Structure 1
Amino acid sequence: MFGFMRQSAPALPLTEAISQVASGEMILVDIRDHNELTQTGKADGALHIPLMRLSMVADPRHPDFHPDLDLTKPIGLYCASGARSAMAVNVMRKLGYENVHNLGGLSHWVAAGGCCVPK
Protein backbone atom coordinates (compact mmCIF):
# COMPACT_ATOMS: atom_id res chain seq x y z
CA MET A 1 0.00 0.00 0.00
CA PHE A 2 2.76 2.47 0.88
CA GLY A 3 5.35 1.19 -1.57
CA PHE A 4 6.70 4.70 -2.15
CA MET A 5 7.99 4.69 1.44
CA ARG A 6 9.84 1.40 1.10
CA GLN A 7 13.61 1.79 1.14
CA SER A 8 15.82 -0.25 -1.11
CA ALA A 9 19.56 -0.50 -1.47
CA PRO A 10 21.08 2.08 -3.78
CA ALA A 11 21.68 0.79 -7.32
CA LEU A 12 25.18 2.25 -7.15
CA PRO A 13 27.28 0.85 -4.28
CA LEU A 14 28.21 3.62 -1.86
CA THR A 15 31.88 2.70 -2.00
CA GLU A 16 31.79 3.34 -5.76
CA ALA A 17 29.97 6.66 -5.23
CA ILE A 18 32.55 7.71 -2.62
CA SER A 19 35.34 6.93 -5.07
CA GLN A 20 33.62 8.84 -7.90
CA VAL A 21 33.03 11.90 -5.71
CA ALA A 22 36.66 11.85 -4.51
CA SER A 23 37.94 11.74 -8.10
CA GLY A 24 35.57 14.49 -9.27
CA GLU A 25 33.62 12.15 -11.55
CA MET A 26 30.37 12.50 -9.56
CA ILE A 27 28.61 15.53 -8.11
CA LEU A 28 27.31 14.93 -4.59
CA VAL A 29 24.24 16.84 -3.39
CA ASP A 30 22.88 17.06 0.16
CA ILE A 31 19.16 17.84 -0.11
CA ARG A 32 18.42 18.17 3.61
CA ASP A 33 17.24 21.45 5.07
CA HIS A 34 19.51 24.01 6.73
CA ASN A 35 18.64 22.91 10.28
CA GLU A 36 19.72 19.34 9.59
CA LEU A 37 22.99 20.53 8.09
CA THR A 38 23.65 22.70 11.14
CA GLN A 39 23.07 19.74 13.47
CA THR A 40 25.10 17.08 11.66
CA GLY A 41 27.42 18.64 9.09
CA LYS A 42 27.52 17.27 5.54
CA ALA A 43 29.49 14.89 3.38
CA ASP A 44 32.83 16.29 2.31
CA GLY A 45 32.51 17.88 -1.13
CA ALA A 46 28.70 17.89 -1.19
CA LEU A 47 26.72 20.78 -2.58
CA HIS A 48 23.89 21.81 -0.30
CA ILE A 49 20.64 22.23 -2.22
CA PRO A 50 17.53 21.74 -0.04
CA LEU A 51 14.83 19.60 -1.66
CA MET A 52 12.33 22.48 -1.61
CA ARG A 53 14.68 24.50 -3.88
CA LEU A 54 15.94 21.67 -6.08
CA SER A 55 13.48 22.14 -8.95
CA MET A 56 14.74 25.72 -9.40
CA VAL A 57 18.42 25.34 -8.60
CA ALA A 58 18.86 22.22 -10.77
CA ASP A 59 17.01 23.65 -13.76
CA PRO A 60 19.54 25.03 -16.28
CA ARG A 61 16.87 27.45 -17.59
CA HIS A 62 16.21 29.00 -14.17
CA PRO A 63 18.07 32.15 -13.03
CA ASP A 64 18.96 30.40 -9.74
CA PHE A 65 20.66 27.45 -11.52
CA HIS A 66 23.66 26.20 -9.56
CA PRO A 67 26.73 26.48 -11.81
CA ASP A 68 28.39 23.39 -10.28
CA LEU A 69 25.61 21.11 -11.54
CA ASP A 70 26.23 19.36 -14.84
CA LEU A 71 23.66 17.37 -16.82
CA THR A 72 26.43 15.20 -18.28
CA LYS A 73 28.00 14.06 -14.98
CA PRO A 74 26.71 11.42 -12.56
CA ILE A 75 24.94 12.95 -9.57
CA GLY A 76 24.54 11.35 -6.15
CA LEU A 77 21.83 12.60 -3.81
CA TYR A 78 21.45 11.98 -0.10
CA CYS A 79 19.24 13.18 2.75
CA ALA A 80 18.76 11.80 6.26
CA SER A 81 17.28 8.41 5.39
CA GLY A 82 16.99 8.14 1.60
CA ALA A 83 13.28 8.98 1.26
CA ARG A 84 13.68 12.61 0.21
CA SER A 85 16.65 11.80 -1.98
CA ALA A 86 14.44 9.28 -3.81
CA MET A 87 12.01 12.13 -4.51
CA ALA A 88 14.92 14.32 -5.58
CA VAL A 89 16.04 11.71 -8.12
CA ASN A 90 12.63 12.01 -9.79
CA VAL A 91 12.83 15.82 -9.80
CA MET A 92 16.25 15.76 -11.45
CA ARG A 93 15.26 13.18 -14.05
CA LYS A 94 12.30 15.36 -15.05
CA LEU A 95 14.79 18.21 -15.56
CA GLY A 96 16.89 16.10 -17.94
CA TYR A 97 19.52 14.56 -15.67
CA GLU A 98 19.92 10.92 -16.67
CA ASN A 99 22.65 9.58 -14.40
CA VAL A 100 21.19 10.34 -10.96
CA HIS A 101 21.53 8.09 -7.89
CA ASN A 102 19.79 7.93 -4.52
CA LEU A 103 22.63 7.26 -2.09
CA GLY A 104 20.42 7.02 0.98
CA GLY A 105 21.17 8.97 4.12
CA LEU A 106 24.22 10.76 5.47
CA SER A 107 24.68 7.96 8.01
CA HIS A 108 24.89 5.45 5.12
CA TRP A 109 27.56 7.60 3.48
CA VAL A 110 29.64 7.75 6.67
CA ALA A 111 29.18 4.02 7.41
CA ALA A 112 30.53 3.22 3.94
CA GLY A 113 33.67 5.25 4.62
CA GLY A 114 32.69 8.66 3.27
CA CYS A 115 34.06 11.71 5.03
CA CYS A 116 31.87 14.23 6.74
CA VAL A 117 32.53 17.93 7.29
CA PRO A 118 31.66 18.89 10.88
CA LYS A 119 28.78 21.21 11.62
Structure 2
Amino acid sequence: MKSVKNMVAAANEAVDHAPAAEMMALHGQDGVTFVDLRDPRELEREGMIPGAFHCPRGMLEFWIDPDSPYAKPQFQSEDRFVLYCASGWRSALSAQAAQEMGLNNVSHISDGFGGWKKAGGPVGEKPAKKA
Protein backbone atom coordinates (compact mmCIF):
# COMPACT_ATOMS: atom_id res chain seq x y z
CA MET A 1 0.00 0.00 0.00
CA LYS A 2 1.26 3.46 -0.90
CA SER A 3 1.10 5.90 2.00
CA VAL A 4 -0.32 9.41 1.82
CA LYS A 5 3.09 10.71 2.88
CA ASN A 6 4.67 9.00 -0.15
CA MET A 7 1.94 10.28 -2.46
CA VAL A 8 2.46 13.86 -1.25
CA ALA A 9 6.24 13.53 -1.67
CA ALA A 10 5.76 12.28 -5.24
CA ALA A 11 3.35 15.13 -6.00
CA ASN A 12 5.86 17.66 -4.67
CA GLU A 13 8.47 16.24 -7.06
CA ALA A 14 6.09 16.79 -9.97
CA VAL A 15 4.67 20.26 -9.25
CA ASP A 16 5.97 23.69 -8.35
CA HIS A 17 5.60 24.59 -4.69
CA ALA A 18 6.98 27.02 -2.16
CA PRO A 19 6.29 27.99 1.43
CA ALA A 20 3.72 30.66 2.17
CA ALA A 21 6.40 33.21 3.03
CA GLU A 22 7.52 33.08 -0.64
CA MET A 23 4.05 32.77 -2.17
CA MET A 24 2.91 35.93 -0.37
CA ALA A 25 4.76 37.94 -3.03
CA LEU A 26 2.20 36.72 -5.60
CA HIS A 27 -0.84 37.77 -3.56
CA GLY A 28 -2.80 40.54 -5.25
CA GLN A 29 -0.92 40.34 -8.55
CA ASP A 30 -2.92 40.45 -11.77
CA GLY A 31 -3.14 37.05 -13.42
CA VAL A 32 -2.66 35.10 -10.18
CA THR A 33 -5.56 33.20 -8.61
CA PHE A 34 -5.23 31.72 -5.14
CA VAL A 35 -7.47 28.66 -4.74
CA ASP A 36 -8.60 27.54 -1.28
CA LEU A 37 -9.27 23.79 -1.26
CA ARG A 38 -10.36 23.50 2.35
CA ASP A 39 -13.69 22.32 3.65
CA PRO A 40 -16.28 25.08 4.21
CA ARG A 41 -16.13 24.43 7.97
CA GLU A 42 -12.40 25.24 7.91
CA LEU A 43 -13.13 28.54 6.18
CA GLU A 44 -15.82 29.39 8.73
CA ARG A 45 -13.42 28.67 11.61
CA GLU A 46 -10.21 30.20 10.27
CA GLY A 47 -11.03 32.56 7.40
CA MET A 48 -9.16 32.51 4.11
CA ILE A 49 -6.67 34.41 2.02
CA PRO A 50 -8.43 37.60 0.84
CA GLY A 51 -9.49 37.36 -2.78
CA ALA A 52 -8.97 33.59 -2.97
CA PHE A 53 -11.39 31.46 -4.94
CA HIS A 54 -12.93 28.65 -2.86
CA CYS A 55 -12.98 25.26 -4.56
CA PRO A 56 -13.74 22.35 -2.23
CA ARG A 57 -11.19 19.59 -2.85
CA GLY A 58 -13.85 17.12 -3.93
CA MET A 59 -14.96 19.37 -6.79
CA LEU A 60 -11.56 20.38 -8.21
CA GLU A 61 -11.40 18.02 -11.19
CA PHE A 62 -15.04 18.68 -12.08
CA TRP A 63 -14.56 22.45 -11.94
CA ILE A 64 -11.34 22.36 -14.01
CA ASP A 65 -12.63 20.19 -16.87
CA PRO A 66 -14.16 22.49 -19.49
CA ASP A 67 -16.36 19.61 -20.70
CA SER A 68 -17.82 18.99 -17.24
CA PRO A 69 -21.29 20.34 -16.51
CA TYR A 70 -19.70 21.77 -13.33
CA ALA A 71 -16.85 23.64 -15.07
CA LYS A 72 -16.05 27.02 -13.53
CA PRO A 73 -14.85 29.99 -15.59
CA GLN A 74 -12.13 30.74 -13.03
CA PHE A 75 -10.26 27.65 -14.23
CA GLN A 76 -10.71 28.45 -17.91
CA SER A 77 -8.35 31.43 -17.74
CA GLU A 78 -4.64 31.72 -18.39
CA ASP A 79 -4.00 32.73 -14.76
CA ARG A 80 -1.32 31.27 -12.56
CA PHE A 81 -3.06 29.14 -9.94
CA VAL A 82 -1.73 28.89 -6.38
CA LEU A 83 -3.56 26.13 -4.54
CA TYR A 84 -3.60 25.81 -0.78
CA CYS A 85 -5.14 23.76 2.01
CA ALA A 86 -4.44 23.67 5.75
CA SER A 87 -0.96 22.15 5.71
CA GLY A 88 0.05 21.49 2.09
CA TRP A 89 -0.92 17.86 1.68
CA ARG A 90 -4.27 18.19 -0.09
CA SER A 91 -2.89 21.03 -2.18
CA ALA A 92 0.09 18.93 -3.31
CA LEU A 93 -2.17 16.15 -4.54
CA SER A 94 -4.58 18.68 -6.05
CA ALA A 95 -1.85 20.57 -7.90
CA GLN A 96 -0.60 17.30 -9.35
CA ALA A 97 -4.12 16.33 -10.48
CA ALA A 98 -4.69 19.79 -11.99
CA GLN A 99 -1.38 19.62 -13.83
CA GLU A 100 -2.20 16.13 -15.16
CA MET A 101 -5.52 17.52 -16.44
CA GLY A 102 -3.62 20.13 -18.45
CA LEU A 103 -4.03 23.15 -16.19
CA ASN A 104 -0.97 25.22 -16.94
CA ASN A 105 0.97 27.27 -14.44
CA VAL A 106 -0.26 25.58 -11.26
CA SER A 107 1.60 25.50 -7.96
CA HIS A 108 0.80 25.11 -4.28
CA ILE A 109 1.70 26.50 -0.88
CA SER A 110 3.80 23.76 0.68
CA ASP A 111 3.04 24.73 4.28
CA GLY A 112 -0.58 25.63 3.62
CA PHE A 113 -2.83 28.16 5.27
CA GLY A 114 -1.13 27.44 8.58
CA GLY A 115 2.15 28.60 7.07
CA TRP A 116 0.40 31.62 5.56
CA LYS A 117 -0.85 32.74 8.98
CA LYS A 118 2.51 32.02 10.62
CA ALA A 119 4.27 34.13 7.97
CA GLY A 120 1.92 37.05 8.69
CA GLY A 121 -0.12 36.81 5.50
CA PRO A 122 -3.46 38.62 5.41
CA VAL A 123 -6.53 36.66 6.48
CA GLY A 124 -10.08 37.57 5.58
CA GLU A 125 -13.48 36.12 6.33
CA LYS A 126 -15.13 33.50 4.19
CA PRO A 127 -17.14 35.26 1.46
CA ALA A 128 -20.87 35.33 2.08
CA LYS A 129 -23.00 32.97 0.02
CA LYS A 130 -24.79 34.57 -2.89
CA ALA A 131 -28.57 34.76 -2.51
How far the C-alpha of 1:85 sits from its partner, in A, is 0.3
Residue 71 of structure 1 contacts residue 98 of structure 1 at CA under 8 Å; is this kept in 2? no
Question: For the aligned residues, what is the CA RMSD?
Answer: 2.3
Could you tell me which amino acid in structure 1 is paired with residue 7 of structure 2? F
Local SS of the residue matching 1:18: helix
What TM-score results when the alignment is normalised by the length of structure 2? Answer: 0.76
In the other structure, the counterpart of 2:94 is 88
Q: Which has the larger radius of gyration?
A: 2
How far the C-alpha of 1:15 sits from its partner, in A, is 4.4
What is the percentage of aligned positions where both structures have the same residue?
31
In the other structure, the counterpart of 1:111 is 118
Runs (4+) of structure 1 exceeding 4 A deviation are none
Judging by fraction of residues, say which structure has more helix: 2
Residue 29 (1) aligns with residue 35 (2):
yes
Aligned length in residues: 118
How far the C-alpha of 1:65 sits from its partner, in A, is 1.4
Q: 2:7 aligns with which of 4, 7, 13?
A: 4
Consecutive unaligned residues in structure 1, runs of 5 or more: none
CA distance in 1, matches of 2:49, 2:29: 15
CA distance in 2, matches of 1:17, 1:73: 15
